[in-house]
Amino acid sequence: MKKVLNTRFGGVLLLYIVFIVISFISRSILCGVSASEVNTSLVGLLRFYLIGLFFDTVAFSYFMIPFVIFLMFVTDKFFNSRFHKWFAYSAYFIAFYILLFNGVSEYFFWDEFGVRYNFIAVDYLVYTTEVLTNIWESYPIPLLVSVILISDLAIIYLILKKKWLSVSLESKSKPANRMVYGVGLLMLPVLSFLFVNFSWAEKTSNRYNNELSKNGIYSLFAAFLNNELDYETFYATRDNSTNFQNLRKEIKTENSEFINSELTDITRKVKNDGGEEKRYNVLFVTVESLSGEFLEYMGSKKGKLTPSLDTLVNQSLLFTNFYAVGTRTIWGLEAVALSAPPKPGQSVIKRAHSENMFSMGQLFRERGYDLKFIYGGYGYFDNMNYFFENNGYNIIDHGQIPDNEVTFSNAWGICDQDLFTKVIKEADLSYAAGKPFLNLAMTTSNHRPFTYPEGFIDIPSGTNREGAVKYCDYAIGELIRKASVKPWFKNTLIVIMADHCAGSAGQAELPFMEYQIPLIVYNPNLIQPQRIDKLSSQIDVAPTLFGLLNWNYESKFFGKDILKMSKVDERAFIANYQKLGFIKNDGLTILSPQQKVTSYKIDRFTGKIDKQQPGENVVNEAIMYYQSANYIQKNRLNKWNK
């Protein structure tokens, strides 16, 4: 090693050593904080440390590119000059600071999401205003920056004292030799790009071990490159014609008929025979990160955080076996709007050609409803404003809410109380205009930094998620209390649903228990209290709502009316940006890139999960749904044609 340090490229080796040491420390800390979830057997530890070292080296090969190119072309005269020495130490100081900062950032990202950098991190790089404000409000940034700075200075001091870099800066080299060494080093990132597969880190059934095998910087790079995954390229497939033949059988119900015989056209007429159609208003509240585990009906172990909701569920239609399709807000909103299984990669809401789609909103608009998407933050985030505005809604976000209507806000938007005040005000305006309304509201308070107005609950603002959940519950209670005295209330369904769970970390590839969320439909004048235990997910919300309204309508939905489901109809979809899950009976089938299919036997009461041999019928059904949904999306067969 000393011989290499004495050469022009010695600084690259030194940088590699620091890179590997920081990565090793980071991986060890992440392992320590999640020790109860990690397979810490000798084989498990060796596996993720050795594979981790490989991916650290791959990540470094990209990181070193500008250093290597610079060293290849700079002359000895400049390289040995006093100015270059100061320049070199400054450059390495900045590089070390970036590596240390990344290590600290990875810890907090892991603490929040239980994974290395992924799609979420890529998205966060786009929305810098919200994200940077959230980080500033959530963490002791001045202290962290100071600690990183001191650590960086300590590394530079050690390098100066040991003269590890100075000997390299005094070395001589021939141009030809520089080219040979430089090209050799640059072949590493080229070969990595061509041949290294990110899935090599995901060879165990323990998701924590898989994540620890990765390198955070490389994970960010991979997520950036794979923001959309073509289903037929990466996933197990079946014949399209057979898929659509089977799909038409699966989504056909007793009260529906297909409009034509074209296999890929799933348009059908749905007829409800419960009398005249209802023109109920709908106040649809999508709640940030409201996992079912917080509520009493699921046996909350976190104390009584949701007294308002716990009271409400006993007066409502409550779906107790209901699953979020994903781990991001836009996946939940997409599932409700489009009633279709999630797609691998980015949400449809953020993809091109998301305008004028066959959606829940379009059916309401067709009947003359006043549609409003009301969001406490700025709706350009995740492309929400564009999607909803181009699918029938009027947009009301933070930018349209006057300052005198805001009592509290944080990085993500106005507090839930202010949001619900706006929701009620907009309902009043629609009622005064004589129009039925659909107000789709999206909350923000149950999100880090977990800050909210003081004085309403007994947990100080900014303490933890439990405080944010309790505040959100208080705000929902206030919404119900204020709405119940309005003249439009007697004719209004209040729907409360989580956008996704509070976290999806777990040992399993897709920890299914973490995806359980509440779905509540409330109005004592219109709905009889009842608990529905049928297995379902967010794609079933729109058909169920139209069933409650007793509407006859054309449908391109994949979802079903939960209240009319038979036992054989029950299934749920859960996913992250790469893994596509299908729950049926007591099994979870997961479709992954590289045409991989895995199956687990699950117990939804205990959370127990055991790997099993995939059953051919359920695998075919899972592929049928996901492949067909992606085919329809890719070929734009889900457009609103009226």
- Which residue did the predictor score with more confidence, 333 or 513? 333
One-letter amino acid of 341: P
Sign of CA dihedral 589, 544, 514, 502: positive
First to last CA, the chain: 71
Closest CA to 188 of 93, 78, 57, 317: 57
As a whole number, the mean pLDDT across the chain is: 91
Q: How much is the average pLDDT of 397-408?
A: 94
The pLDDT tens digits for 315-335 are: 999 999 999 999 889 999 999
Domain contains 196: yes
Element holding 371 (H helix, E strand): strand 370-375
Contact indicator for 318, 518 with CB cutoff of 8 Å: yes
* Residue 119 in this model has a pLDDT that exceeds 70: no
Domain contains 560: no
Selection from 59-73, 217-231, 590-604 with the highest mean pLDDT:
59-73
The pLDDT tens digits for 440-477 are: 999 999 988 999 999 999 999 999 899 999 999 999 99
Q: Which residue stretches of 39-140 are H helix? A: 42-63, 65-73, 76-79, 82-113, 119-126, 128-138
What pLDDT sits at residue 251? 96
What pLDDT sits at residue 70? 94
- Which residue did the predictor score with more confidence, 382 or 360? 360
Distance CA(215)–CA(456), nearest Å, equals: 43
Contact indicator for 543, 534 with CB cutoff of 8 Å: no
* The total number of structural domains that make up the chain: 1
The pLDDT tens digits for 527-559 are: 999 999 999 999 999 999 999 999 999 999 999
φ, ψ for residue 183, nearest 5 deg: -65, -40
Distance CA(328)–CA(345), nearest Å, equals: 12
What pLDDT sits at residue 313? 95
Angle between helices 42-63 and 65-73 (to 10 degrees): 40
Contact indicator for 310, 296 with CB cutoff of 8 Å: yes
Contact indicator for 216, 102 with CB cutoff of 8 Å: yes
DSSP reduced 3-state for 530: strand
What pLDDT sits at residue 126? 60
What pLDDT sits at residue 548? 96
Domain contains 307: no
What pLDDT sits at residue 298? 84
Task: Report the DSSP pairing between strands 256-258 and 268-270.
Answer: antiparallel
Task: Report the DSSP pairing between strands 281-287 and 492-498.
Answer: parallel
Query: Percent of the chain scored above 90 by pLDDT?
Result: 70
Residue 483: CA count within 13 A, CB half-sphere? 30
Dmax (CA) of the chain: 91
Domain contains 450: no
Q: What is the DSSP letter of 602?
A: E
Cα 22-23-25 angle, rounded to 5 deg: 65
**Beta-sheet strands, E only, within 508-556:** 519-522, 530-532, 536-537, 553-555
Cα 483-487-493 angle, rounded to 5 deg: 55
* Residue 127 in this model has a pLDDT that exceeds 60: no
- Which residue did the predictor score with more confidence, 228 or 197? 197
* Residue 125 in this model has a pLDDT that exceeds 80: no
Contact indicator for 413, 344 with CB cutoff of 8 Å: no
Distance CA(526)–CA(493), nearest Å, equals: 8
Contact indicator for 253, 564 with CB cutoff of 8 Å: yes
Selection from 185-199, 262-276, 422-436, 505-519 with the highest mean pLDDT:
422-436
One-letter amino acid of 405: E
- Which residue did the predictor score with more confidence, 606 or 89? 89
| pLDDT band, residue 4 (cuts 50/70/90) | low
Domain contains 620: no
What pLDDT sits at residue 505? 54
Domain contains 102: yes
Contact indicator for 561, 546 with CB cutoff of 8 Å: yes
Domain contains 139: yes
Domain contains 444: no
Structural domain boundaries, residue 22: 2-225
Contact indicator for 20, 99 with CB cutoff of 8 Å: no
What pLDDT sits at residue 135? 78
